[in-house]
Amino acid sequence: MTVHVDLSRLIPAAAQSLVEAHVAKPQAEDLLFKVSKPVFRSCLRRRPKNAVKVSAEELQELNAFLGKSRKAGDYAVWKKVACSNCGKVLTFFDLFQSGRSKHGDDYVRKYLGGSEQHIHVLKRGGKMDITCSRCSATNVELLGYDGPEY
C-alpha cells in the first residue's frame, strides 16, 4: 500500500525537510509525496551524477505518452541495475512500463503527466517488480541510492 501525502502547500524548506527525513529513515509503507515545483527540482538536483537516464527513444515515448517535453535527466533512476535475464541496464522507462501494467494508464498519467509533482519514497527494505522492456523478464530490485528511491 502507498500512503499519499500532500506537502504542496507547505513552505518549500519544510516540505523538503519532511521528504529528506523519510528518505533518511524509511517508513513501513511506501510514501507518495505531492510537492511544489521548487521542492521537486531540489530533489532532482540531489540525484547522483551517475544516475541512469532514459535513452533518446525512451524519452520520446515517455514524453509522447505523458504529453510533456521533459529532459532525459528528469526520468532518472539513482542506481545502475541490470536485468537479471538479458543484462539491459534498467531505466525509468522500465519502471514506467511496469507501472502501466500494474496500475493502468490513467493512474500513471495522473501522477506523471499532470501539472503536479510527486516524489515516491520506498518503504523500509522496499523492492519493486520491474519488467525489463527488452526481454520482459521480471526483476525484483531495490533501486535506491544509499537508501530508498526518491
- The answer to whether position 148 is within a domain reads no
- The answer to whether position 149 is within a domain reads no
- Residues contacting 147, CB < 8 A, separation 6+: 23, 24, 26
Per-residue cell: 13: 524548506
Parent domain of 60: 2-141
- Is the pLDDT at 148 greater than 60? The verdict is no
- The answer to whether position 146 is within a domain reads no
**pLDDT tens-digit readout, 32-86:** 999 999 998 888 788 788 889 999 999 999 999 999 999 998 888 888 889 999 9
Q: Model's pTM, two decimal places?
A: 0.82
- The answer to whether position 133 is within a domain reads yes
